[in-house]
A = this chain, B = another copy of it.
Amino acid sequence: MKQDIFQAIADPTRRAILTLLAIQALTPNVMAEKFEMTRQAVSKHIKVLHECDLIKPEQSGREIYYHFNAKKMQEFDHWLAQFRQNWETQFNQLDQLLTTIKTQKQ
């Protein structure tokens, strides 16, 4: 089934894989060596990341190099945009207004 990116990065192993692949493309076997689990377990994580397009395969003989897809990762950046004003402005104007109204009601 089609995975979504938020669910994909929820797992710490998958986040570690993305960190590795952001530096250099790797094969599943090499990735598996980095973690204390079987190759098949890592392979499942790769499948999830691939299905939601966060990584892209590049076949090279019997090996497959997985590349990090920065473009897809940017979707997080876009989602975060809606919250940026919350930490960039000292005060949320609307929130302040509502607090005032609530205080008046009491």
Contacts and interface: CB of A to CB of B under 8 A. Distances in A.
A7 B22 CA distance: 21
Centre residue among A22, A82, A94 by max chain B CB count within 10 A: A22
Contacts of A82: 19, 22
Nearest to A61: B106
**Copy number in this complex?**
2
Given A9-B6, A60-B102, A94-B23, A87 B67 contact: no
A87 B73 contact: yes
30 contacts: A6-B9, A6-B10, A6-B12, A10-B10, A15-B79, A18-B83, A19-B82, A22-B82, A22-B86, A23-B94, A23-B95, A24-B94, A24-B98, A25-B95, A25-B98, A25-B99, A60-B102, A68-B83, A70-B83, A70-B87, A73-B80, A73-B83, A73-B86, A73-B87, A74-B87, A76-B76, A76-B80, A77-B80, A77-B84, A80-B80
